[in-house]
Amino acid sequence: MSKRALITGITGQDGSYLAEHLLSLGYEVHGLVRRVALEQPQQRLGRLRNCLEDIHIHPSNLDSYASVFHVLSKNRFDECYHLAAQSFVAESFSDGFSTMATNINGTHYILAALQELQPDCRFYFAGSSEMFGKVRETPQREATPFHPRSPYGVSKVAGFHLTVNYREAYGMYCCNGILFNHESPRRGFEFVTRKITYGVARIKSGLASELRLGNLEAKRDWGHARDYVKAMHLMLQQPKPDDYVIATGETHSVRELCEFAFSEVGLDYRDYVRIDQTVFRPAEVDLLIGDASKARNVLNWEPRVNFVGLVEEMVQSDMKLISAGNEKDMPREVATPVG
Ligand code: G4F
């Protein structure tokens, strides 16, 4: 009998890679999807184009306990990967209320419904290095205290503690992945990596003449999403539930990212990047670098793609996207990058 997994946020970057990974391992894969996504499958289910035929989609709304309860009362799962969230940090400053409501309640609804209906289902929560925020030690590890710097970070700290609480209070198998930034050609256009690689491709192709960015000095530990979803799966295969940092252990500034990405197509970023004060955040996370020794030792997990490989892959992919003339087929919110 193959195992059955439920993925919330299956239409996103991580959800789509995780679905492909679990299918390759012989899983029956199910996903929760907002009903509106089914009305625009071309755009909203685009990242699932390689596996849409092989997965089971359930329309559901994570803002409603009844909706989550309904799906879990009709289908049994061995594993649940809760990835759905409002995950853009800048947006959480514009509307902290909806970020907190979606991220905290959504997590709580899933955990409460699982406890009621299928307490043996193993649960993964997508925690984040944003929880470390104003970092208390470097590199950051599982024992590093949290000091979130945005409503998004606060919502992830709440989700983290909810997950630990269901593990301790009800003996459920619940894990937190504390994932550092992870990117890919499937990354949303509002995040800085994709904004830069897509901007580079547009400039190189003569479609744009500049790229407006905010804080170039922020440092992040950037890995590849395809590597990171494998760690999510490994966490749920252990004898005991636990929490793990997933990171490369390398940190680079946004400025270095620009340097690498522009040089990939033979350009100098200083000729094109303009500083835009409106993109700076009210509170910044200055430096993230993770220590993933525990994941290496316990899960036998290692990242395969490093920073340079990641940037190369993303720039080349965006160059292809533009040269194939696919830009006009992209949904409007994607064709006009923000952030
Ligand atoms: O790409 P970002 O928007 O990612 P951020 O804020 O680090 O969050 C991402 O990683 C987290 C894991 O640590 C996830 F939990 C979260 O969901 C998300 O995936 O920004 C990265 C850095 C920031 O310091 C930002 O201020 O880039 C800086 N930046 C500079 N100019 C910019 C820009 N960020 C964006 N999005 N757009 C800019 O123009």
Is 17 considered catalytic here?
Answer: no
CB 213 near ligand 1, within 6 Å: yes
pTM over 0.75: yes
CB 195 near ligand 1, within 6 Å: yes
CA distances from 289 to 130, 156, 252, 310 (A): 11, 18, 9, 16
Mapping DSSP to helix (H, G, I), strand (E, B) and coil, where does residue 167 land?
Answer: helix
Using the mean position of ligand 1's atoms as its centre, give its distance from the Cα of residue 89 in Å.
7
Using the mean position of ligand 1's atoms as its centre, give its distance from the Cα of residue 191 in Å.
6
Answer for the pair 285, 218: CB distance below 8 angstroms, yes or no: yes
Task: For residue range 269-325, list pLDDT tens digits in order.
Answer: 999 999 999 999 999 999 999 999 999 999 999 999 999 999 999 999 999 999 988
Distance from chain centroid for Cα 152: 13
Using the mean position of ligand 1's atoms as its centre, give its distance from the Cα of residue 339 in Å.
9
| Residue 207: exposure state from Cβ atoms within 10 A (0-12, 13-18, ≥19) | exposed
Using the mean position of ligand 1's atoms as its centre, give its distance from the Cα of residue 130 in Å.
10
**Residue 42 has what pLDDT?**
80
Going by pLDDT thresholds of 50, 70 and 90, the confidence category of residue 331 is: very low
CB 71 near ligand 1, within 6 Å: no
CB 289 near ligand 1, within 6 Å: no
Half-sphere exposure of 294 (CA within 13 A, CB side): 16
| Residue 339: exposure state from Cβ atoms within 10 A (0-12, 13-18, ≥19) | middle
Q: Give the rounded percent of residues in the chain with a pLDDT score beyond 70.
A: 96
Task: For residue range 75-98, list pLDDT tens digits in order.
Answer: 999 999 999 999 999 999 999 999
The residue annotated as part of the active site, out of 152, 166, 173, 198, is 152
Is 152 considered catalytic here?
Answer: yes
Peptide bond into 239 cis (omega under 30): no
Going by pLDDT thresholds of 50, 70 and 90, the confidence category of residue 333 is: very low
Mean pLDDT of the chain: 95
> What does the DSSP assignment read for 7-66?
EETTTSHHHHHHHHHHHHTT-EEEEEE-HHHHHSHHHHTGGGTTTGGGSEEEE--TT-HH
Distance CA 234, CA 328 (A): 39
**Residue 338 has what pLDDT?**
53
Is 128 considered catalytic here?
Answer: yes
pLDDT at 329 over 80: no
Closest C-alpha residue for ligand 1 atom 27 = 192
pLDDT at 214 over 90: yes
